[in-house]
Chains A and B, each alone.
Chain A
């Protein structure tokens, strides 16, 4: 009954989804942390830049960003990401770039909200007993903040996994693009839909369960 799967590389497509997710997650984590550092810094200009970036990027559809990386960055500005002759690699790298730039705004917000959950009294008490800025940050604030960041970051990661399907818009051969092709050519609409839905449930559910368990376990009891 699963003969409609023949001739299609479903696992390969999902592997592409996983690769997109992992690479953009790493990229957005780095850039998002930098943005969060800017947004909580004492320098007004950095705060302004961080706020502006987050508010602009969050309100533009991811689809617009991804399509722009291909039609704008690559075609007009010649940013081929070191793969000008290999269209597939180029599309993949551009998609990672777009996903990371977009997701970083949400990572930044998750981290910032984590820092905000630490009561001000904690830092005030730490300063009162004479700890230096670095000690306040590394011994008091960050250990508490990082724990409360896990939950929100897990949600960002899950959303990112689902958002990688947008890469289909610029022809990256991941799950959604393969589903589009299969569903148009094969008769078993429902079965194909079920297979791909199951694939995403398998990808997102364990992430949510494991990280949810971790964030509960590590939560600061207040």
Chain B
């Protein structure tokens, strides 16, 4: 295989690669053996500590309710943040200064603040100024924090996605007499969605991951929070962390796979976006999106949205 860094290996390079492989394998094996040894020394490999996860009680009383709350908060935050983000992203592209300006200020402000501060603030705010019950409050606070932060990040993704389209698209739409709103909804947005999808999905993964903050800091009973109760009951801290980490990885893996399936489908279908899209996005997409998110005019944490 040819790559930017090295040519197809010849006999000498092949021999060297084998040596590297063996050395690396030995190092990796030593490291894994060391972990195994340490776990064994501290008695963390005893079957009694892992056994609870093979029985239904640990799942039905602790993990599944926690997972359900994680999913609930993440899903609600996504459903609210996506349209809100699209709204602010499009507002920032408005021709009117009095729309563009305030939208820009809101987006840049909330993008610069850690999501944890927003959650803490929302929690206190609901406590003092509204009559949300104390059982509901953590959920409300988590969703509020996630929505405010992620909507502003999504707004930047939408803006960059629309800006990445060739200028000819909006010019052609104008030439056939579409209005600005029609240009946006019928021409620009459908094409931009395909280009934006990878960035949007990594932001949705961020939403799922950030629900865990609410569990530790404001007592929202999501997966990480119920893990604490579980570990207190079975005295298996390390094991519960392993299981919870695997659950998060699986959850995000499902989300990403679904997105890449959707992306492939959107890219293949001609009906939704017209014939231009196929070649346009495939050719434009990697460079354009990278330009817009990486080296473009990012002043905040836009591309780092993957956090």
B275 interface residue (CB < 8 Å to A): no
* Docked pose: A156 CA to B300 CA in angstroms: 10
Q: Is the CB of B299 within 8 A of A127?
A: no
Would A189 and B4 count as touching, CB distance under 8 A?
no
Whether A183 contacts B298 by the Cβ 8 Å rule is: no
- 10 A-B pairs with C-beta separation under 8 A: A40-B5, A42-B13, A43-B20, A64-B241, A64-B248, A120-B4, A152-B295, A155-B294, A155-B301, A204-B301
Q: Decide yes or no whether A163 CB sits under 8 A from chain B.
A: yes
Question: Contact flags (1/0) for B290-307 with A, using CB distance below 8 Å?
Answer: 100111111111111111
Binding stretch for chain A, among B92-100, B107-115, B266-274: B107-115
Q: How far is the CA of A175 from the CA of B90 in the complex (A)?
A: 33
Residues of A with C-beta under 8 A to B215: 63
Give the CA-CA distance A41 to B17 in the complex, in Å. 9
Q: Is the interface of B mostly helix, strand, loop or mixed?
A: helix
- Would you call B248 and A61 a contact (CB within 8 A)? yes
Inter-subunit contact B5/A201 (CB<8 Å): no
Binding site for B on A (CB under 8 A): 40-46, 49, 56, 58-64, 67-68, 71-72, 75-78, 106, 109-110, 113, 115-120, 122-124, 127, 133, 136-137, 141, 148, 150-152, 154-160, 162-163, 165-166, 168-169, 175-176, 179-180, 183-184, 189, 193, 196-197, 200-201, 204-205, 208-209, 212, 215-216, 219
In the complex, chain A residues whose CB is within 8 Å of the CB of B293: 152, 155
Q: Is the CB of B117 within 8 A of A76?
A: no
Q: Which residues of chain B have C-beta atoms less than 8 A from A215's C-beta?
A: 295
Most chain-B CB neighbours within 10 Å: which of A122, A136, A157, A193? A193
Partner of B209, one of A49, A61, A133: A61
**The 5 A-B residue pairs with the shortest CB-CB distance in the complex, in nearest-first order:** A159-B304, A155-B304, A151-B295, A61-B209, A61-B212
- List CB contacts (< 8 Å) of B198-257 with chain A: 205, 208-213, 215-217, 224, 231, 237-238, 241, 244-245, 248-249, 252-253
Q: Are B21 and A155 in contact (CB under 8 A)?
A: no
A219 neighbours in B (Cβ, 8 Å): 295
Q: Which residue from chain B places its CB closest to the CB of A37 in the assembled complex?
A: B5
Partner of B3, one of A61, A109, A120, A212: A120
Known contacts: A64-B245, A72-B238, A169-B216. The answer to whether A151 contacts B109 by CB under 8 A is no
Number of cross-chain contacts by CB at 8 Å: 206
Q: A42-B17, A75-B237, A141-B5 are in contact. Are A60 and B304 (CB under 8 A)?
A: no
Chain A: minimal CB distance from B80 (Å): 20
Interface string of B1-38 (1 = CB under 8 A from A): 01111110100010001001100110010000000001
Contact A76 B238 (CB under 8 A): yes
Known contacts A63-B215, A76-B42, A120-B2; is-contact A205 B299 (Cβ 8 Å): yes
Alpha-carbon distance A68/B125, docked complex (angstroms):
30
Q: How far is the CA of A50 from the CA of B267 in the complex (A)?
A: 29
Write out the residue numbers on chain B whose beta carbons fall within 8 Å of the beta carbon of A46: 20-21, 24
Asked if B117 and A196 sit within 8 Å, CB to CB, the answer is: yes
Q: When A43-B24, A155-B298 are in contact, do A180 and B217 touch as well, CB less than 8 Å?
A: yes
Distance to closest chain B CB from A102 (angstroms): 9
Query: Bound complex: CA of A116 vs CA of B4, how far in Å?
Result: 8
Contact between B241 and A72 (Cβ–Cβ < 8 Å)? yes
Q: Report the Cα distance A199→B193, complex, angstroms.
A: 35
Cβ–Cβ contact B304 & A43, under 8 A: no
Give B residues with C-beta under 8 Å from A. 2-7, 9, 13, 17, 20-21, 24-25, 28, 38, 42, 44, 109, 112-117, 120-121, 124-125, 128, 205, 208-213, 215-217, 224, 231, 237-238, 241, 244-245, 248-249, 252-253, 287, 290, 293-307
> How far, in angstroms, from A56 to B253 measured CA to CA in the complex?
10
Knowing A43-B17, A49-B24, say if A63 contacts B3 (CB, 8 Å).
no
Which residue of the partner chain A has the closest CB to B215?
A63
Q: Contacts A42-B9, A62-B209 known; A156 to B17 CB distance under 8 Å?
A: no
Query: B298: which of A43, A137, A212 is its contact (CB, 8 Å)?
Result: A212
Q: Is there contact, CB below 8 Å, between B248 and A150?
A: no
Nearest-Cβ distance from residue B105 to partner chain A, whole angstroms: 11
How many angstroms from the CA of A30 to the CA of B6 in the assembled complex? 23
- Chain A residues in 8 Å Cβ range of B20: 41, 43, 46
User: Which B residue's beta carbon lies closest to that of A116?
Assistant: B4
User: Bound state CA distance, A45 and B205, in angstroms?
Assistant: 27
Q: Which residues of B contact A209 (CB under 8 A)?
A: 299
- When distances are taken between beta carbons in the complex, the residues of chain A under 8 Å from B3 are 40, 42, 120
A43 to B208, CA, bound (A): 34
The answer on a CB contact under 8 Å between B238 and A183 is no
Q: How far is the CA of A63 from the CA of B125 in the complex (A)?
A: 23
